[in-house]
Structures are given as structure tokens and as C-alpha cells.
Structure 1
Amino acid sequence: MFVERPDQREALVEFQVLGPVGLRVDGRRVELGSDKERALMAALALEVGRPVALDMLMDRLWDGEPPPRARENAHSYVSRLRRRLRLAGPSSPSAPRIISRAHTYTLEAARESVDWRRFQDLVAQAGA
């Protein structure tokens, strides 16, 4: 969530995948652009902290039938989403970011910043 520090406050970033896909920073909605950008954010948020192969992302973005320039388009969507994350809130070491390594992308963010993960954690607590 966020931590108060004397010199600055970290932004509260929320990835919403239950219901309409969205991104909120400190309670305000961040425009995500195209349907493909929202689908990309959802695919990465559902796997927060884990690498997702570019081929898998392309399958999710185009329902298993990517167009000829799908790879280039996917890279553009990642770039736009990175830019939106940077512009949405103050930069800090713990700010959410998308990392690329060896044909994979990873959303590095706090697990609890994704509503689906918070829901899973609450269900597990209720069952305990």
C-alpha cells in the first residue's frame, strides 16, 4: 500500500482486474488507452511478480491468432503501459514497474496492489 515517510509519501497504486480493468493511483483513475493496453495490464497483473512470456501475452492479446506485426505491437503496448505507470505516480524504488528479460515481461509490484490477489488472500484468511 503506502508508507508515510518524513520526506515523501509513496503513492497507493491499485491494479483492478475484478470487473472493469483499471489502474488507480491514490484513488484517482489512470487512463489506460486501448483495449489491448488494458488486456496487457490485466495479463501482467494476474501474474504479478512472475515473468510472462511474450508469446503468451500475444496469445492473450489476440485470442491465439496474433496478426503479422503482433510482436512489434506488443512491445509498443508494453512501452505505453510503462509510460503510464511512470507518469501516474511519484518514482520510488518500490513503485510498480514492468521489467523485461529474455522474451518475458514481469510486473513488479506489491502483491496486495492487485485486487484479485487481495481477494485470494482474504478468501484464504476466511478459510483459516
Structure 2
Amino acid sequence: MTSAVPSRIRIEVLGPFALTVNGRSVAPTAGKPRTVLALLSTRHGRAVPAATLIRELWSGRPPASAAATLQTYIFQLRRTLRGAGLSSRLISTVRGGYRLELPSEAVDVHEYQSLAALGDRAAALGAHEDAARLLREALRLWRGPGALLDVERGPALEPEAQRLELSRSALTERRIDAELAIGRHAELLGELAALTVQDPMNERHCAQQMVALYRCGRRLDALSTFQRLRNGMAAELSVEPGPALRELHRAVIDSVPALDRFTVPLQLLPR
């Protein structure tokens, strides 16, 4: 990978796709060149076969001119880079395909994953204040409700976007764990109410909401939260909540003292 890439370049996929240089957008607006650049960006530093790019662009039904058209898109992207004062060699030709030569630090996903890893490490060490801060910083990198929002996603980009969105959901759960561990239950009530409406079958958010409500002196509301999820699961899925959530429900009924100790309930939450 080249070391000549200027630090001012930034690629963002956590929301609308963006390529900026010195804060100025230089990403192509045309759909297919934008898709090519987005796919190269999600695999920066790795070769992307031309066949993969063609499949992404035409969903497995390429025209006879697909290879030549792809070469035209690559030429247009290199010209865009030159126009922004960058080297056209940032997109290199490799055997059978192309590679975007960028350091990981230029891509928002790398920063997001690094912060998430640091936050998880802090949580594992019991440093929940640091964990909450780091996980909040990671989640703030998202600029919209999904990844690659304004890119037409095919068989390669769609799974990548879904993977990132699932990662965001899981990270939100872990960040709330850390917030609960430092006693921010009252501040979380509004967010948890919204999350349980958006995803009413999510047992973990239900459990987190129950703990937050209980600690705010709203024991009956915590029990109602469980019953609402239980009724929904019975009606739509014909199943019962998992054993961890049922255990938490029993703990709320019995007013188990451990529920008031910030770090202990994390062990009761379903995973």
C-alpha cells in the first residue's frame, strides 16, 4: 500500500457514502461509478476482482460491454482523484481487478471498529465509565440510520451494509450496558422506550429497560415491560422469552437487592 496518500482524504460509509478532500466532497454523483468506488472503499487495501465489480453493477446480468464499461468507470474515478489533487494511482490495477490504496485511518469504519474494540476492552476490565465514553464516540461516527444509504447496493455491498448495521445495533446494546453500570438509568429511559418500540421483540433492550425502570422506582412499569414483550412473542412467534429474561422478571418481582448494584444486573441480561 502506498504511503503517499495525504491525510486530508476521508472516506465515510457509516451513513451516506462520502469521499472528501480537505472537507470538500469529491465523490462521483453518477450511480454506477459511485457504486464502484463504494465497493473499493469497503475493501480498501485489498484486490477486488473485476468480476465482483461487474456482478455488483449489473446484478449478475451484465451487458456484453460490461468489462469495457467498468474500465471507463475506473478511468472516470481516477480523473476525479486527479481533479481533487490526489494521485490517480490511489486506484491501482492488479491481476484481474482493482485496489483502492488507502491507509485504514482514512476510512470511518476503521475508526469505528477501533473505538468499539477499546470500549469492549474497557468494559471487560470493569472500567465502565471509559467503556461508555468510547462506545459513544464510536456510535457518533454514524451519520444516518444505515450504511451506504445513497448507494445502489448489490450482492457484495448489501451484506456489507447489513453487517455494519448489525454491528451498530450490538454496539448500542453494549453501550447501554456500560451506561447502566455507571448508574445512568434515568438518562436512558427515553432512548430505551424508543428502542423497544422500534424492535419490540429484542429481549436485551427489554431487559435493559426493565433494569432502568426498576432503578427509577418504577417496578410496576418494569413488570409491564416484560409482559408486553411476552404477549407480543406469544402472539407473533408462539414462543416464551428466554430464561435470562424470565430470571430478570423474577428478580424484579422479588425486588432482589442485586438489581440496585450497578454492575451485577449485567450478568442477568440476555445475550
* Short-chain TM bin: 0.7 to 0.9
Counterpart AA for 2:58: W
Question: Quick one: structure 1 residues 105 and 41, their matched pair in 2 at CA, closer, same or farther if it must change by over 3 Å?
Answer: same
Question: Quick one: structure 1 residues 67 and 90, their matched pair in 2 at CA, closer, same or farther if it must change by over 3 Å?
Answer: closer
**Which residue does 2:258 correspond to in 1?**
none
| Larger relative strand fraction | 1
| Aligned-pair CA distance for 1:33 | 3.3
**Which residue does 2:65 correspond to in 1?**
69
Kindly report structure 1 stretches of 4+ aligned residues shifted beyond 3 Å: none
**Which residue does 2:143 correspond to in 1?**
none
| Larger relative helix fraction | 2
| Alignment coverage as a number of residue pairs | 116
Give the alignment's Cα RMSD to 1 decimal. Answer: 1.8
CA contact (8 A) 1:32 1:81 kept: yes
**Which residue does 1:5 correspond to in 2?**
none
**Which residue does 1:28 correspond to in 2?**
24
| Aligned-pair CA distance for 1:31 | 4.3
CA contact (8 A) 2:27 2:34 kept: no
Structure 1 SS opposite 2:29:
coil
Alignment of 1:10-21 (within 5 A): 10=6, 12-21=8-17
Unaligned runs of 5+ residues in structure 2 are 1-5, 122-271
The equivalent position to 1:123 in structure 2, one of 116, 119, 129, is 116
The equivalent position to 2:49 in structure 1, one of 30, 48, 53, is 53
Question: Quick one: structure 1 residues 60 and 90, their matched pair in 2 at CA, closer, same or farther if it must change by over 3 Å?
Answer: closer
Unaligned runs of 5+ residues in structure 1 are 1-9
| Aligned-pair CA distance for 1:117 | 2.2
What is the rounded CA distance, in whole Å, between the counterparts of 1:32 and 1:87 in structure 2?
Answer: 12
The equivalent position to 2:91 in structure 1, one of 98, 111, 114, is 98
Report Cα offsets for 1:58-107 as digits up to 9, x if no partner. Answer: 1112222222211111111111111111221255xxx8701102111010
The equivalent position to 1:84 in structure 2, one of 72, 80, 83, is 80
Structure 1 SS opposite 2:98:
strand
CA contact (8 A) 2:45 2:100 kept: yes
Alignment of 1:102-117 (within 5 A): 102-117=95-110
Question: Quick one: structure 1 residues 31 and 64, their matched pair in 2 at CA, closer, same or farther if it must change by over 3 Å?
Answer: same
Higher relative contact order (CA 8 A, sep 6+): 1
Counterpart AA for 1:107: L
| Aligned-pair CA distance for 1:27 | 0.6
Question: Quick one: structure 1 residues 49 and 86, their matched pair in 2 at CA, closer, same or farther if it must change by over 3 Å?
Answer: same
Counterpart AA for 2:85: G
CA contact (8 A) 1:11 1:26 kept: no
What is the rounded CA distance, in whole Å, between the counterparts of 1:57 and 1:90 in structure 2?
Answer: 23
CA contact (8 A) 2:91 2:100 kept: yes
Q: Which has the larger radius of gyration?
A: 2
What is the rounded CA distance, in whole Å, between the counterparts of 1:90 and 1:17 in structure 2?
Answer: 20
What is the rounded CA distance, in whole Å, between the counterparts of 2:120 and 2:63 in structure 1?
Answer: 44
| Aligned-pair CA distance for 1:127 | 1.5
TM-score norm. by structure 1 comes to 0.81
**Which residue does 1:3 correspond to in 2?**
none
